[in-house]
A and B are shown apart, each in its own frame.
Chain A
Amino acid sequence: MKVLVAVKRVIDPYVKIRVKSDHSGVETQNIKMAMNPFDEIAVEEALRLREKNWATEVVVVSIGGENSQETLRHALALGADRAILIRTQDSLESLNIAKILKKIIDDEKPDLVLMGKQAIDGDNNQTPQMLASLLNWPQAMYASKIEASGDHLQVTREIDGGLETISVHLPAVVSTDLRLNEPRYASLPNIMKAKKKPLENLELDSLGLSLKKHVEVLKVTEPDARSAGVKVESVAELLNKLQHEAKVL
């Protein structure tokens, strides 16, 4: 079985972001970047499926600028077999990302596509569902457990009230939730080995897709600031304030 994993380069989750003063977006110059945490979980799961001899090849794909190569090299160092970068300078909306991925999938013909449930920058939680839709494949979103047997996957999904288990026939798109697994670290020898693994660069323009703009970003602003309140000395004082000042009890 061939597994394709889509990964995204995002601002490191521990960085406190700054909104640009012209409200055009968020400051990304000289900011620490990392692989989207949900995508690391997707890579890890693909590697585990290969270790169980279910998956035979793990291909990682990213869409972005030159430096998305670092994200792909990181995935290769973790154990992915090869990587594809679709180069573009534009920041793309979910639907267009799904269309690009569909094009790659039409060529690569994987049996399973694994993706993070959302990227921690846009917080959209859309691309995997859109991709499944465009491919007309079944989807299993927010996976916290994946059991593969033959051409079926049994996926336990995190839903608001608890868990739901569904069975999907391959090929399918699965998105990962945080509790699916604990991603491994890349060892130094594997980082060295990853430099020799194949990384194919494709220009977005060469794919022959006609992508149209569906959304216009008008501005990005800071949320209303919430300031620190007061420290109280005792439980009695806290209760008194909640009752008489905040009037919430």
Chain B
Amino acid sequence: MSTLVLVEHDNQTLHPSTRNVLAAALELGGEPTLLVIGHQCKAVAEQAATLAGAHAVWCIDKPCYEHPLAEQISDLVLSFAHSFKAILVPASTFGKNIAPRVAAQLDVSQVSDVSKIIDKDTFEHPIYAGNAIETVRVLDPIKVLTIRVTAFNPVTTNQASCCIEQIDKEIIAKNSQFVKHELSKSERPDLGSAKIVVSGGRGLQSAEKFKLIEELADVLGAAVGASRAAVDAGFVPNDYQVGQTGRIVAPMLYIAVGISGAVQHLAGMKDSKIIVAINKDEDAPIFQIADYGLVGDLFELVPQLIAQLKNR
């Protein structure tokens, strides 16, 4: 069975999610082809070729793909799609933007956020903010899947580079155009793949006080997350949001500070290995799923935590 994996990247580095999507492709069986679309993205193709299990890398490197649009990527994928039994993309904003467009062009269904592969036609995925798991059988000949990255262990081993094939194909989007990016700059690990995540909620009270969360994260080498309440209140940018409508994370350790634990938020973090909650309300729903709960004023407890971590 041949599988196409669409590689997410920034023209310089492979996004870590590629390792998880490749793992899912290998579970499906067969020989995955990794597709890299970009501009001056040679390094990405080379990294992709060394991931253990990669069968081939197809690289489409053209100036018009410096900031590729959904229309361009889906047309490119479509031009190869019939050679494959499955097309896999990460369930990130990148992948989710493209996969349904490809599926509709192929007149096939698309399964979102696949969390388990049962066999080549049967998949599990969460619905209702993760409060139910649906098992579906796809009846179409080509499966288009977005992969819940945190549900598959990444491929961490390397191989001798497989063949990299350059493909010369130019597609210009007629009716849409890239204008600009405003990316959040951060030295911290990426939220989606960090081993430790420290998240703050409404309890932080202000953007100024939210810095306490960042300080704790830095002591732990953790990524910073936030609840929707903290984002809506303007404490942090929206791409910090963890939840049904934000990022889905499943780190080794998730520390929720001043977060009550609304269903919407839990959808994004309840598969974390260990959950710690720090909240002054001992009845907050977050304590129902926390492995370790600490009841008290976060403005006293977090500085203590930072001080004790520094003294370790």
Show the binding face of A for B, using Cβ within 8 Å: 11, 13-14, 16-17, 19, 26, 93-95, 98, 117-118, 120-134, 137-142, 144, 154, 157-169, 172, 177-179, 213-223, 226-232, 234-236, 238-239, 241-242, 246, 248-249
Contact = CB atoms under 8 A, between A and B. Distances in A.
A126 B135 contact: no
Interface string B136-166: 1111100000000000000000000000000
Contacts of B228: 178
Nearest to B113: A123
A159 B183 CA distance: 9
Nearest to A20: B132
B100 interface: yes
B308 A223 contact: no
A121 B180 contact: no
Nearest to B15: A160
Interface stretch (B21-29, B50-58, B244-252): B244-252
Given A139-B101, A215-B136, A223-B130, 12 more contacts: A16-B131, A118-B245, A120-B244, A121-B128, A125-B96, A139-B70, A139-B176, A142-B93, A172-B175, A215-B139, A220-B127, A248-B253
B129 to A, nearest CB: 7
B178 interface: yes
Contacts of B109: 93-95, 214-215
B113 A231 contact: no
B51 to A, nearest CB: 21
Interface of B: 67, 69-71, 74, 92-94, 96-105, 107-113, 122, 126-140, 173-184, 192, 196, 220, 228, 231-232, 237-239, 244-245, 247, 252-253, 263-264, 270, 273-276, 282, 287-295, 301, 304-305, 308-309, 312
A130 B274 contact: no
Contacts of A140: 176
Contacts, number: 253
Given A26-B128, A141-B97, A134 B244 contact: no
B175 A123 contact: no
B276 A238 contact: yes
Chain B contact residues, majority secondary structure: mixed
Contacts of A117: 245
Contacts of A177: 238, 245
Contact of B139 (A11, A214, A235): A214
Nearest to A171: B175
A233 to B, nearest CB: 8
Contacts of B305: 235, 238-239
Given A235-B305, A242-B274, A223 B184 contact: no
A188 B120 CA distance: 53
15 contacts: A16-B131, A19-B132, A26-B127, A94-B100, A117-B245, A118-B245, A123-B112, A130-B100, A133-B101, A159-B94, A165-B181, A222-B133, A226-B289, A234-B294, A235-B305
